[in-house]
């Protein structure tokens, strides 16, 4: 929603007669005599009075006393803005943002916003009403004489700074993304108490965007907004306490913050509170309470809540096990693009739980999840394409593509599966070097199967130069994690006493 100001400015640019005409226009406007106001201000606007130009533009934009005409609004806002009138600069930026009366152009919007911001002015919250100018050099101390929705404008409101930061922060807004500049504008707005700016500043500290990652600073700004009653910030506070970021981990505190936000209707907080009740972290485990909060969020269309309701019905937690109801909730979430719900719904179609077994629908939902770039779903889709049974036609070439998508995202199971395909030459030309590469990628993430297979490849010189030291190293990592094959191989190496094992022991 756009936000406007009719400002209080003191200026000595115009004669007494010009001031009188402006005041007469203002008096007419305040008594809703828009035709008279438009006539007074148009005359002054044509003489170059930036206040009158701004007010006339305002009337053209709203269709008060004149036919609504965005082109005329842009014309008069621009004339005023070019004379340095900051409120005209703000509203001209708004019209460029929305593409009303002028082509949509975020670069020009930012240009005019910057012009106003550099003078220390920003648009005030729209719920504070229309601003007014009570005339050149005339003090206005008694606002009780004015209609209740009109108040004197004050300099340096935070909303424009917040909007400008948003344009600089987000890609695809016609302005080059600039985290450093965005951080500065968020900080200026946040220091004035703008809750959304405080939240976004907290987010930038959380993710290290334009500033070194600093959870304590993130917590500081989230708390500022949360203490103003902002539900989103309260949910973030819950997350920080739950995860122990910027503060000692404290599930009880997390519950308190989640509850504050959940009781305001924040769906994310309702889901988070439900999760804690389901797990018994910070509160006594209570599936009825979990169900209550999931339902409240699900009724708002929250896909995560719908997914968790599906799990409750599928597992019989807090409710009677009911696969059909589980399918209903999984479907609601899946249709909103929830990847785990899509994956789970696909599995239910494969197994025939709560629905008639249908392999085509199973494939449909698994593909939906995979197409969203979910590595788990991509890996599972590949598994289906090479698995025995389930009525899914084998397609090794397609499986390779899905494994590669997941592997390139760093998913270790997919990396191992892709390595296996390269090692055996299934669906792809055999390439032991590629196999060793993908085993290495997964092994470094701690995957024991990858560590064992990488040990085998170094032991036998497959795809890599034979190296008993490296073989023993990877066998040992897998063996210590309980991999029986690695324990056996490492035992053989100790029995035979090669130099590699002796070096490891050192």
What confidence tens digit (pLDDT) does each residue in 87-100 have?
A: 888 889 888 877 88
Name the burial class of residue 324, with classes exposed (0-12), middle (13-18) and buried (19+) by CB atoms within 10 angstroms of its CB.
exposed
Inform me whether the pLDDT recorded for 123 exceeds 50: no
> Cβ neighbours of residue 26 under 8 Å, at least 6 residues apart?
37, 55, 132, 133, 134, 135
* Maximum mean pLDDT: which of 44-58, 187-201, 249-263, 351-365: 249-263
> Cβ neighbours of residue 293 under 8 Å, at least 6 residues apart?
262, 270, 271, 273, 274, 277, 305
54 vs 5: CA distance, rounded Å:
10
What are phi and psi for residue 76, nearest 5 degrees?
Answer: -80, -35
What confidence tens digit (pLDDT) does each residue in 449-496 have?
A: 999 999 999 999 999 999 999 999 999 999 999 999 999 998 888 887
Cα dihedral 73, 76, 80, 83 in deg (nearest 10): 130
* Paired strand residues for 131: 151
105 vs 189: CA distance, rounded Å:
24
Alpha helices in 372-483 (DSSP H): 375-386, 396-408, 412-424, 432-443, 448-460, 468-480
The per-residue pLDDT for 350 is: 86
Could you tell me if 476 and 506 are in contact, meaning their C-beta atoms sit under 8 angstroms apart? no
DSSP 181-241: HHHHHHHHHHHTT-HHHHHHHHHHHHHTSSS---HHHHHHHHHHHHTTT-HHHHHHHHHHH
- Among 236, 229, 162, 160, smallest CA distance to 197 is for 162
DSSP 484-503: HHHHHHHHHHHHH--HHHHH
| pTM, two decimal places | 0.62
Name the burial class of residue 85, with classes exposed (0-12), middle (13-18) and buried (19+) by CB atoms within 10 angstroms of its CB.
buried
- Roughly what angle, to the nearest 10 degrees, separates helices 34-46 and 50-62? 140
User: Percentage of the chain surpassing pLDDT 70?
Assistant: 83
For residue 470, what are the CA distances in angstroms to 463, 473, 490?
13, 5, 12
Provide mean pLDDT across the span 435-458. Answer: 95
Range 103-110 contact pairs with CB under 8 angstroms and sequence separation of 24 or more: 105/174, 106/167, 106/173, 106/174, 106/175, 107/174, 107/175, 109/167, 109/174, 110/164, 110/167, 110/168, 110/174, 110/175
Could you tell me if 255 and 233 are in contact, meaning their C-beta atoms sit under 8 angstroms apart? no
- Among 366, 395, 392, 397, smallest CA distance to 379 is for 366
430 vs 428: CA distance, rounded Å:
6
- Mean pLDDT, the chain, rounded, equals 82
Could you tell me if 489 and 459 are in contact, meaning their C-beta atoms sit under 8 angstroms apart? yes
Cα dihedral 110, 112, 116, 122 in deg (nearest 10): -60
What confidence tens digit (pLDDT) does each residue in 209-254 have?
A: 889 999 999 999 999 999 999 999 999 999 999 999 999 999 999 9
What are phi and psi for residue 132, nearest 5 degrees?
Answer: -140, 160
127 vs 79: CA distance, rounded Å:
27
Cα 99–Cα 100–Cα 104 angle in degrees, nearest 5? 15
- C-alpha 205: how far from chain center: 14
The per-residue pLDDT for 31 is: 85
The per-residue pLDDT for 117 is: 75
Sorting pLDDT into bands at 50, 70 and 90, what band is 439? very high
Sorting pLDDT into bands at 50, 70 and 90, what band is 170? low
What confidence tens digit (pLDDT) does each residue in 376-399 have?
A: 878 888 888 886 545 567 889 888
The per-residue pLDDT for 390 is: 56
- C-alpha 98: how far from chain center: 22
Alpha helices in 210-338 (DSSP H): 215-226, 231-243, 251-263, 267-279, 287-298, 303-315, 323-335
Inform me whether the pLDDT recorded for 17 exceeds 50: no
276 vs 321: CA distance, rounded Å:
21
> Cβ neighbours of residue 461 under 8 Å, at least 6 residues apart?
467
User: Percentage of the chain surpassing pLDDT 90?
Assistant: 52
């Amino acid at each position: 929603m756009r936000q406007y100001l009719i400002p209080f400015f003191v200026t000595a640019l115009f004669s007494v007669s010009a001031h009188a005409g402006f005041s007469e226009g203002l008096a007419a406007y305040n008594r809703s005599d828009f035709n008279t106001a438009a006539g007074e201000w148009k005359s002054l606007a044509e003489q170059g009075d930036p206040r009158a130009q701004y007010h006339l533009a305002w009337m053209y934009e709203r269709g008060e006393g004149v036919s609504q005409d965005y082109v005329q609004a842009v014309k008069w806002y621009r004339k005023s803005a070019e004379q340095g009138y900051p409120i005209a600069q703000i509203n001209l930026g708004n019209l460029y943002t929305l593409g009303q009366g002028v082509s949509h152009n975020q670069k020009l919007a930012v240009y005019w916003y910057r012009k106003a911001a550099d003078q220390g002015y920003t648009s005030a919250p729209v719920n504070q009403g229309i601003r007014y100018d009570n005339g050149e050099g005339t003090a206005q101390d008694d606002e009780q004489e004015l209609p209740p929705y009109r108040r004197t404008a004050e300099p340096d409101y935070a909303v424009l700074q917040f909007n400008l930061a948003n344009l600089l922060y987000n890609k695809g807004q016609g302005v080059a993304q600039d985290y450093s500049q965005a951080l500065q504008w968020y900080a200026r707005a946040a220091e004035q108490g703008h809750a959304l700016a405080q939240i976004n500043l907290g987010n930038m500290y959380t993710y290290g965007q334009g500033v070194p990652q600093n959870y304590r600073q993130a917590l500081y700004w989230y708390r500022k907004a949360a203490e103003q009653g902002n539900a989103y910030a309260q949910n973030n506070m819950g997350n920080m306490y739950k995860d122990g970021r910027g503060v000692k981990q404290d599930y009880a505190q997390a519950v308190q913050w989640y509850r504050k936000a959940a009781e305001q209707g924040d769906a994310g907080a309702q889901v988070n509170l439900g999760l804690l009740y389901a797990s018994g972290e910070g509160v006594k485990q209570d599936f009825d309470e979990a169900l209550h909060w999931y339902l409240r969020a699900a009724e708002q269309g929250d896909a995560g809540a719908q997914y968790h309701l599906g799990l409750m019905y599928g597992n019989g937690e807090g409710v009677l096990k009911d696969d059909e109801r589980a399918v209903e909730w999984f479907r609601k979430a899946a249709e909103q693009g929830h990847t785990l719900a899509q994956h789970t719904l696909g599995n239910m179609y494969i197994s025939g739980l709560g629905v008639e077994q249908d392999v085509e629908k199973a494939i449909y939902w698994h593909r939906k999840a995979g197409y969203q770039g979910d590595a788990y779903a991509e890996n599972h889709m590949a598994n289906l394409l090479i698995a025995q049974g389930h009525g899914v036609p084998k397609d090794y070439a397609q499986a390779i593509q899905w494994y590669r998508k997941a592997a390139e995202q760093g998913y270790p199971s997919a990396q191992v599966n892709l390595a296996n395909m390269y090692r055996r030459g299934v669906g792809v030309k055999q390439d032991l070097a590629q196999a060793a590469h993908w085993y290495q990628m997964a092994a470094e993430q701690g995957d024991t199967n990858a560590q064992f297979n990488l040990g085998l490849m170094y032991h036998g010189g497959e795809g890599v130069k034979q190296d008993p030291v490296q073989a023993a190293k990877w066998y040992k990592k897998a063996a210590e994690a309980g991999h029986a094959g690695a324990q056996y191989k490492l035992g053989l190496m100790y029995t035979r006493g090669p130099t590699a094992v002796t070096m490891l022991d050192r």
